[in-house]
Chains A and B, each alone.
Chain A
Amino acid sequence: MKDTIQKRERRKGRSSLSDRTILVPAIRASFAKLNPRWIARNPVMFVVEVGAVITTIIFVLDLFNGTPVLRGPNNELFVGQITVWLWFTVLFANFAEAMAEGRGKAQAASLRKTRSETIARRLVDGQLTNCQTNGLEERISSTQLKKGDLVVCEAGDIVPGDGDVIEGIASIDESAITGESAPVIREAGGDRSSVTGGTRVLSDRIVIQITANPGETFLDRMIHLVESASRRKTPNEIALNILLAALTIIFMVATVTLQPFAIYAGTSVTITVLIALLVCLIPTTIGGLLSAIGIAGIDRLMQRNVIALSGRAVEAAGDVDTLLLDKTGTITFGNRQASEFLPAPGVAMERLVEAAELASLADETPEGKSIVALANRLGSSGRALDKAGMTFIAFSATTRMSGVDFGGRTIRKGADDAMGRWSERDLPVDVRARVDAIGRSGGTPLVVGENKVVLGTIHLKDIVKPGIRDRFAELRRMGLRTVMITGDNPLTAAAIAKEAGVDDFLAQATPEMKLKLIRDEQALGRMVAMTGDGTNDAPALAQADVAVAMNTGTQAAKEAGNLIDLDSDPTKLIEIVEAGKQMLITRGALTTFSIANDVAKYFAIIPAMFFVALPELKALNIMQLHSPNSAVLSAVIFNALIIIALVPLALRGVRYRPIGASALLRNNLLIYGLGGIVAPFIGIKIIDIIVTAVNLAA
């Protein structure tokens, strides 16, 4: 419980919007990002900046020369204010991006702090044989470690970099990375050999082979992702950018041709007002927030202790159709456990329970422990017995039985056929029926006997994690299919699949079958997500569209994955999918909102443009704005302020609820479509009242 609180505090501290350590650099960065070469990456904001430069020039010329050509009927105060607000529009968009970047970097920094610089004990020759006896070590800074170096860590040392244990076994405290305080065991060989820089060795001595050069660890890769300079746009972002660019061109055509139309109508429009109209029409809201939304998506995953190694994977997570989940550890607790005792006819329950417990007292396997635990729950107290006089018979592959002999009692438990041979006769009909039924249901039967008399059966089964069924139901509502992967036989697999509520299962799975399943799903056009930690998961991870590698997993698995879960919790996939969907929804919502906003802006600016020459058009001034200048100014101010107002939404993301696509679309259309049409009418009117009240526009 302590760790969860600790984790929650850390999250809260990281995500705070009003954090000065993020806010101040973000404001500074907003100005630095005014560099045209930077802005040119974003066509919408580039147009705004060009517009701002032009109005600045007009303002300066008006002020000093009063150039008659450029000077309209509007006074300098008006042009000056429009200019200021246009610059603010660009700055606000820059600020949104800088905030998202800053938050990501702050999170990364807090992760990195632990691993900042430690002293590494490098083996001089890089020879393993030396160290076993009397290896020569040198002490160097962890930042100088290269891929392939061998380092030694003993109790109390900080692991200097990411790597694989190639010798020894140690318990390691990973709380600095995962927030979990319980130590984990890492040992050479197998799937538990990977260690992360910044964690602390609590006991024993290990030799680690470093697997990443400085600046190439996955934390470094993630930091690149939140720095928009080196960030690559995701496919959907590129498509959206094209649409926004096309809309920008359409509005440029609509604005530029307005001047000849005005001339035909016997009037003309000042360049300042035309630029104001253009900036109001082009989708600045989404254009300004688009890159912040993408970065914020990665930030949000980081808050959940998931490190994204590509922005594309986060986006793809929203599209996932099929989820592959390992049975063990994800759907069920790792081991089979005793779930009930079934006495043979004529045998009292108490007798069976007592015998079962006695037979398992010395059995240290999880199954054996679970039998003792279940017996205790049922009121037996075998533990109180004096074990001194007991002779325990351990399980062996040949006898396939275990048990205990004491005081003339010979108690055994074992597989049904082995127990049949032991009792020297067939199992009682009723017991045989029970055994078969348990097998059919996916469980494992253990038969218990005393002095060659069969007493009954113990039902061992996989225990499905509580609450997992509800999560699968939620996934189904989100439109995802879950497939359980297990090494069990089909019968067992089917039973557990039914109990857990998964849609499908793959039994007796081999790595090849896993890979084939992913390919088959993809051939049907489905996107596949999976989690994995073992080296043999790597090919499947590399094939999957969204591949979450467990931090506890091997280096090979982490290399193959595109997301890494620091908590090593396979059910995290659900949150990753949600984060992906949230990012897409936020983009769609703000695009819709941005376009819907234009309706009101037309009604503000068009009548204002022709107020003098074509007074009849004031019928379009349905907001009853005070004057042409106040109308144009209010629209421009609204357009700038809405960006800053929506920054929190862009960073937080629009909430996703698994209520089905139609309901989701209807709700969001209502809020961001209809709301997007109505909101600016109200907003512009309010700003107009304020602007008029403080005499900013005549």
Chain B
Amino acid sequence: MVVDIIGVVITYLAVAMGAWFLAPHLVKVFQGQRVFLSPVLRPVERGAYRLMGVDETKEQSWIAYGVSVLAVTIVSLIFTYLVLRLQDKLPFNPQGFGPVPADLAFNTAVSFTTNTNWQNYTGEQTMSYFSQMVGLVMHNFLSAATGIAMAIALVRGISSRQLKTLGNFYVDVTRATLYVLLPIAFVAALVLASQGAVQTLSSYPVAHTLEGAAQTIAVGPFASQEVIKDLGNNGGGPFNANSAHPFENPNGFTNQLEIFLELLIPFALALMFGRWVGNIKQGIAIAATMGIVLVAATGIAAWAEQSGNPALTNIGVSQANTATQAGGNMEGKSVAFGPIYSANFAAATTGTSTGAVDSSHDSFTPIGGMVPLVLMQLGEVTPGGVGAGLYGMLIFAVLAVFIAGLMVGRTPEYLGKKIESKEVRLASLVILTSAFNILVWTAISVLVPAGLKGPLNPAAHGFTEILYAFSSTNGNNGSAFAGLTGNTVYYNTALGIAMWTGRYIFYIPILALAGALAGKKVVPAGPGTFRTDTPLFVGLLIGVIIIVGALTFFPALALGPLLEQFQLAAGHLH
């Protein structure tokens, strides 16, 4: 147990260091400066612009930027839908899978386009290699790069001095892919493959078991897919078991490596923000806010899982951590990871919008399972998805500055930009969308018969399964509580819509906010200015995030995981 805790601490320290060194690289990349990769990648980049017909010196207004985002998204969405529907006629299909059904293809295409990677299908039984590599992995890069581009646009809006433009979307996406995602993914894939993750294009081998039965072993070009799945906070693995599958995540080291990859870019972007606006401390404050919540969540989940199931404790079963057993709640967990690493993975995958899983969140204790649920409901900002985490956090920063900033006796301002009715309206819209999306969809699903068929478990646990699904899809997380039968026409459609609104309804107010802030004068800071780079602000921001989240979802949480925990403690089982 102590070793596990040290492993978690080392992982988080590694993330902090990695992000610290990656941040200046990100500034250079997105400000169009030369980096050490330029000699190799610059020709490729130029070629890409020529191919797309993009003039890289042309800057876009927020509206043009937004239109580009939507255009690219919709075209790639339709492309993936068609690839899935036509996979039987396309190459690299050694298992001869048929076309993916329409509702599932819609759900899956939306899921990967929105960086959610909610999977209502079993990869190794549904998707051809072509569908996986072209239809899906393409989005692992594109959707991640789009998220980064959006964050960069907002950062440009906040830091710009009365400009009307936010940069060029095509340039941002291209540079994010070429200079950030690809190089890191390349190195990490080699490490992962060296640890035993599979990377092959051959058909599934057949093994003969001792009993003489034939067993088909699913394989594929998966080490590379695995890396971008984590790095880009996508979370959609090639196997249904996701990171609990030994070919995706062979051992404790790769488990922590995957956690590292999930957290690296979101934290690096936060630190990049500080460098970009010319005050490293601003970035540290944002990163610290993310980090403190994440570490606390990890601690709570690990404690809940290591403590085990109160109902088992009540009947005298030992769940202690001893030399012979890991102890704690081991249901649905791999013995390779145990309760603490599993809790660590759960917090990281839901704190970011990754959604990969190395254990069944459904089998967590109620409190342990509430941690990932709450991390998603807080708005995916601790540290959130690549890009999405930063822009979500900046929205909270705007709100925190507005609510409390008044208390220093000035019109609130963030980094010298006055927060006025327009900014408040846009930021409120973002928070509102999230609450609306999760709660209303959950309410509909517990009312309509098609929705009630979903959950495997009755009572409070079943409710949590539905709530989790919509929290996950709205937050573009994609982790499943499992236990919910999602591959039905109702859930494919409902979750698909929730994913779409959860990402693209956000985009408009965020880009509009970036545009509004970009045009504003910068008020110089003075002794009467509300400082946003202090521990006090970090505390305030954490408070606002938690209070807004808690106030919105407390009733739902009370009827889900909290109720279940009290019932377990009281020995009332369903």
Contacts and interface: CB of A to CB of B under 8 A. Distances in A.
Contact of A525 (B420, B460, B523, B562): B523
B52 interface: no
B524 A524 contact: yes
A253 B555 contact: no
B484 to A, nearest CB: 14
Given A257-B556, A620-B558, A662 B536 contact: yes
Interface residues of A, number: 73
B574 to A, nearest CB: 11
A263 B559 CA distance: 11
Interface string B267-294: 0000000000000000000000000000
A115 B325 CA distance: 92
A518 to B, nearest CB: 15
Given A239-B420, A246-B429, A617-B566, A260 B446 contact: yes
Interface in A280-294: 281
Interface in A656-687: 656, 660-662, 664-666, 668-669, 672-673
Nearest to B399: A243
Interface in A506-553: 524-526
A673 B551 contact: no
A257 B569 CA distance: 27
Interface in A620-661: 620, 656, 660-661
B419 A262 contact: no
Contacts of B570: 616
Interface string A132-167: 000000000000000000000000000000000000
A584 interface: yes
B315 interface: no
B428 interface: yes
B572 interface: yes
A315 B421 CA distance: 14
Contacts of B562: 617, 620
Contact of A246 (B428, B460, B530, B569): B428
Given A318-B410, A584-B406, A614-B563, A238 B421 contact: yes
Given A242-B425, A669-B540, A479 B463 contact: no
Interface string B529-548: 11100101000100100010
Contacts of A617: 558, 562-563, 566
B205 interface: no
B419 A606 contact: no
B526 A479 contact: yes
A516 B68 CA distance: 43
B566 A616 contact: yes
A580 B463 CA distance: 50
A602 B428 CA distance: 22
B49 interface: no
The residue among B410, B436, B567 with the most chain A CB atoms within 10 A of its own CB is: B410
Contact of B527 (A582, A588, A598, A661): A661
A264 interface: yes
B522 interface: yes
A239 B407 contact: no
A259 B530 CA distance: 41
Contact of B435 (A250, A587, A591): A250
B79 interface: no
Contacts of B82: none
B552 A243 contact: no
Interface string B434-458: 0110011011101100000000000
Interface residues of B, number: 65
B310 to A, nearest CB: 12
B547 A665 contact: no
Nearest to B527: A479
Interface string B61-100: 0000000000000000000000000000000000000000
A525 B521 contact: yes
A535 B312 CA distance: 87
Contact of B432 (A236, A249, A599, A606): A249
A502 to B, nearest CB: 16
B380 to A, nearest CB: 17
B411 interface: yes
A596 B407 CA distance: 15
Interface string A9-23: 000000000000000
Interface string A246-273: 1101110111111111111100000000
A662 B429 CA distance: 29
**Binding site of B, secondary structure by majority: helix, strand, loop or mixed?**
helix
Nearest to B426: A242
Contact of B409 (A238, A265, A606, A664): A664
Interface in B197-215: none
A480 B536 contact: no
B459 A265 contact: yes
Interface in B31-85: none
B550 interface: yes
Contact of A239 (B424, B435, B521, B527): B424
Interface string A603-626: 000100010001011011000000
Given A319-B411, A525-B521, A585-B409, A257 B443 contact: yes
Contacts of B407: 585, 588-589, 592, 664-665, 668-669, 672
A247 B432 CA distance: 8
A477 interface: yes
Contacts of B567: 616
B403 A588 contact: yes
B408 A665 contact: yes
Contacts of B460: 265
B436 A479 contact: no
B442 A665 contact: no
B428 A242 contact: yes
Contacts of A259: 443
A522 B569 CA distance: 63
B528 interface: yes
B538 to A, nearest CB: 12
B403 A591 contact: yes
B405 interface: yes
Contacts of B556: 254, 257-258, 261
B205 to A, nearest CB: 46
A238 B421 CA distance: 6
A261 B416 contact: no
Nearest to A601: B551
A476 interface: yes
A73 B559 CA distance: 20
A592 B403 contact: yes
Contacts of B423: 239
B528 A479 contact: yes
A261 B447 CA distance: 8
B83 to A, nearest CB: 37
Contacts of B431: 246, 250
A236 B403 contact: no
Contacts of B552: 250, 253-254
B404 interface: yes
B141 interface: no
Given A585-B408, A617-B563, A525 B403 contact: no
A617 to B, nearest CB: 6
A26 interface: no
Contacts of B21: none
Given A264-B463, A614-B563, 5 more contacts: A243-B403, A256-B443, A264-B447, A584-B411, A591-B406
24 contacts: A235-B411, A240-B424, A250-B431, A251-B551, A253-B435, A254-B551, A257-B556, A261-B559, A265-B460, A318-B411, A479-B526, A481-B526, A525-B522, A526-B523, A581-B410, A585-B409, A588-B405, A588-B406, A588-B407, A606-B554, A620-B562, A656-B409, A665-B536, A673-B404
Interface of A: 235-236, 238-240, 242-243, 245-247, 249-251, 253-265, 281, 315, 318-319, 321, 476-481, 524-526, 580-582, 584-585, 587-589, 591-592, 595-596, 598-599, 602, 606, 610, 614, 616-617, 619-620, 656, 660-662, 664-666, 668-669, 672-673
